[in-house]
A and B are shown apart, each in its own frame.
Chain A
Amino acid sequence: MGIRVILIISLASFGLDARPISYSGGSTLMGHSNNMKDSFYYHYSPSYKYSIGIESLDDKVFGDSYSYTRLTYLINRKNTELSQRNLYFQSGINTKDLNNNFYGVHGDWETRRFFVGFGFKQVENQINDYEEKYIQMGLAPYLGEYGDFHTWLMFKAKKNSLDKKWSNYPVLKFFKGNVLLEFGYSDVSEWDTHLMYRF
């Protein structure tokens, strides 16, 4: 049962790594849902270099609720005329139990047409520590102007050290104005949706 809970926690983080820090003074609301649980995450960025926030999780299967206090820090960024490359440190501490926490890095490189990303996360709890990693790549089939409706076709592969096998699935991402909507389908988590609003 412990392993199932941990797996659910890890699945809930799908998609939350996208745009982990806002512009200076910006706030972001994220909602995430799949057939097993709902997650709600708010973060504020005092500077473009880091964001602080809280993620609240509702477990639909076990009826459990818990929260993470989260910090994301931009370790390195490289801007060019056509691209941006980022490397982030991420961490979270369970508000009920400081011994339950996670930390890791994730990075991305993107242009207006292509996206490539990866992540590694170590989760420590008092039951069974585990790690997870993912890679993600995407393509924008057309290039919209600022304010247009944007679409991304993506592919994500993820592996959890408890599960020991890769989960591969397609992701569709839509983006307009302040809103981002992402759908992914995994054979493990089935439909996986992610909504983000930045202000």
Chain B
Amino acid sequence: MKKILTILLALTSLLSAANSSDTDHHSHEGHIHEKMIDGKKLEVDPDRFDKFLVGLEDAQVAIVNVQGMVCDFCARGIEKTFKKDEKVKKIDVDLSKGKVLIAYSLNEEIDFNDIKEKIVMNGQNAIDMQVVSL
């Protein structure tokens, strides 16, 4: 009986620890948007950003601040351009925040000048960029 109780206690502790670990992990992923990058808080829509991260592993996300994105046609042009880039794993355009989210593999070097050029070719201006590694 004592043995059974000990085993049950051990199992309970293990499950509790595993659950706690899952919770912590989830909590960490769900609050990446609260990270400070280069002393600045990420100015992203939390829900949209978390949705963007779903399915991304071993990746880094460039959050690009873009001026002049006032309609879907602007967004579509940017999306189409970056989708042609084989280094880009995923892209999303947040019109309300004026941000473009671009996911790359961790081993890729992100070239802000290349991003700026692509956005200028679509008629908008990229002002600055923050990079978050997952």
Q: Give chain A's interface residues, CB within 8 Å of chain B.
A: 19, 21-24, 26, 47-48, 74, 77, 79-84, 110-112, 143, 145-147, 150, 175-178, 198
Contacts and interface: CB of A to CB of B under 8 A. Distances in A.
B114 to A, nearest CB: 15
A40 B82 CA distance: 31
Interface string B7-39: 000000000000000000000000000000000
Contacts, number: 72
Contacts of A145: 94-96
B83 interface: no
Interface in B60-93: 67-68, 70-78, 80-81, 93
23 contacts: A23-B73, A23-B74, A23-B78, A23-B80, A48-B122, A79-B67, A79-B68, A79-B125, A80-B68, A82-B70, A83-B70, A84-B68, A84-B74, A110-B70, A111-B70, A112-B95, A145-B94, A146-B93, A147-B72, A150-B72, A175-B71, A176-B72, A178-B76
Closest 3 CB pairs of A and B: A79-B68, A23-B77, A48-B123
Given A23-B80, A79-B68, 16 more contacts: A21-B123, A22-B73, A23-B78, A24-B77, A24-B121, A48-B123, A79-B124, A79-B125, A81-B67, A83-B68, A84-B124, A110-B70, A110-B71, A143-B96, A146-B72, A175-B72
Find the residue from B71, B75, B122, B125 having the highest chain A CB count within 10 A. Answer: B71
B75 A198 contact: no
A175 B94 CA distance: 17
Contacts of A77: 68, 123
B73 A198 contact: yes
A24 B76 contact: no
A22 B96 contact: no
Given A24-B121, A112-B96, A146 B70 contact: no
